[in-house]
Amino acid sequence: MEIPAVLQESLKEMESYLKDQNVERAQVKEVMTAMRMGWFEAVAGKYDLKAWTGATNKHIDRKFAATFGVSQHRLQENVVRNQENGSRVYVTAAGDANCSPHFMRYSGLTGAREHILHDQEFTERLAAGATPEQMESYQDDLEDKSRNTADFVIGRGRVFLNPLDRPQKEYFDS
């Protein structure tokens, strides 16, 4: 479950304050877990989840009261080339290192597979022998394919990125 940015910031400040006060690590963890549990309870109260599910606060297992930010990332440049002493080195990023829609969207695995297949094709082309001009063309081709794959991966997660402070109408009206 995503915690709103303003609450997340407050939690970080509280954690920092407790650490500055030399509160034991276990106690800091306990306080932070209690604060997150409070958020879960507030959401459950807001949407009356008890009436829907019969679940009460005692049903929330503390070890599963985890939170995470829902965000996307992608590299602007996927293929990096360096040339020294007459040798070229290409570095590419694949999978979540290249782009990630967000937690558990599954398109990350598809994207990773596509990136690896494109990298493999690029490597095979270079290994077959290529002129510097062909190498440039192959690199451009790899960058285009990587960009298309990243567009697909990011697009799959975009639908889930409505911030909590915006109306969620389309998700609850169906």
141 and 77, same structural domain? yes
SS3 81: strand
Q: Which domain holds residue 62?
A: 5-69
Cα separation, 108 vs 77, whole angstroms: 18
Q: Count the Cβ atoms, other than its own, within 10 Å of residue 150.
A: 24
**Bridge partner residues of 76 (DSSP):** none
153 and 78, same structural domain? yes
Q: φ and ψ at 82, to 5 degrees? A: -135, 140
Write down the pLDDT at residue 60: 63
State the 10-residue block means of pLDDT for the chain, 174 residues long: 78 93 92 84 74 63 59 77 79 79 68 90 91 89 90 77 52 40
Write down the pLDDT at residue 142: 92
21 and 95, same structural domain? no
In a domain, 170, yes or no: no
Write down the pLDDT at residue 67: 57
151 and 80, same structural domain? yes
In a domain, 79, yes or no: yes
**Regarding beta strands 73-74 and 79-84, do their DSSP bridges make them parallel or antiparallel, or are they unpaired?**
unpaired
Write down the pLDDT at residue 59: 61
In a domain, 53, yes or no: yes
Write down the pLDDT at residue 45: 75
54 and 116, same structural domain? no
Write down the pLDDT at residue 2: 67
* CA angle 164–29–41, rounded 5-degree value: 40
Cα separation, 14 vs 8, whole angstroms: 10
In a domain, 132, yes or no: yes
152 and 81, same structural domain? yes
91 and 54, same structural domain? no
Write down the pLDDT at residue 158: 73
Exposure on the CB side of residue 169, measured as CA atoms within 13 A: 2
- The candidate with the shortest Cα–Cα distance to 68, out of 2, 7, 14, is 2
116 and 146, same structural domain? yes
